[in-house]
């Protein structure tokens, strides 16, 4: 009986440690920007997760669905440790601009950027091999 209680106690302790490590695994302050239109879409472009390294104040992410009339929706979420970052982009822009906000000016830890677009066209084949090219999936209706 004592072994059962000891086992339950150890499992509870281990799960609480796991929960605490997950809680601190990603930055707590996030900004989500969603822009969309009424255009039809056929493809979802899911971009690789991008990290802004500690000490870096701003970054640009290349976008691949850049013709405004072909972008149906763009969603990006940027999370950081000190404060919610500023995110600027217009549908059809070639780049998204992220500016980190940190009153101390240290920009500690990695900021995390996740992005996807819904687009009416696929990306050109010569762009598919670019390191930061998005994963493209055709949307079925």
Q: Is 120 exposed, middle or buried (0-12, 13-18, 19+ CB in 10 A)?
A: middle
Q: What total of structural domains would you count in the chain?
A: 1
pLDDT digits (tens, 9 = 90+) for 21-63: 445 578 999 999 999 988 888 999 999 999 999 999 999 999 9
Answer whether residue 51 is part of any domain.
yes
Count the Cβ atoms, other than its own, within 10 Å of residue 29: 14
Answer whether residue 6 is part of any domain.
no
Residues in the chain: 141
φ and ψ at 86, to 5 degrees? -90, 135
Of 22 and 132, which is predicted with more confidence? 132
Answer whether residue 19 is part of any domain.
no
pLDDT value, residue 141? 72
- Which pair of structure tokens corresponds to residue 100? 């980190």
- The residue with tokens 């039809």 is 40
pLDDT digits (tens, 9 = 90+) for 63-73: 998 877 788 99
Answer whether residue 106 is part of any domain.
yes
Answer whether residue 87 is part of any domain.
yes
**Average pLDDT rounded to a whole number, residues 115-131:** 82
Answer whether residue 15 is part of any domain.
no
Answer whether residue 8 is part of any domain.
no
Answer whether residue 50 is part of any domain.
yes
d(CA 98, CA 86): 6
d(CA 69, CA 56): 33
| Residue pair 110/99 in contact by the 8 Å Cβ criterion | no
| Residue pair 127/43 in contact by the 8 Å Cβ criterion | no
- The residue with tokens 């209706």 is 141
The domain in which residue 105 lies consists of: 27-138
């Amino acid at each position: 009986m004592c072994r059962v209680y000891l086992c339950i106690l150890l499992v509870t302790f281990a799960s609480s440690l796991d929960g605490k490590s997950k809680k601190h695994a990603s930055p707590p302050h996030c900004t989500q920007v969603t822009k969309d239109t009424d255009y039809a879409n056929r493809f979802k472009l899911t971009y690789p997760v991008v990290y802004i390294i500690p000490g870096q104040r701003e970054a640009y992410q290349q976008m691949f669905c850049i013709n405004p009339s072909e972008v149906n929706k763009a969603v990006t979420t940027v999370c950081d440790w000190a404060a919610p970052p500023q995110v600027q982009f217009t549908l059809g822009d070639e780049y998204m601009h992220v500016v980190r906000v940190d009153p101390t000016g240290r920009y500690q830890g990695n900021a995390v950027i996740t992005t996807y677009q819904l687009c009416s066209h696929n990306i050109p084949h010569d762009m598919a091999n670019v390191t930061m090219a998005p994963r493209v999936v055709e949307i079925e209706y």
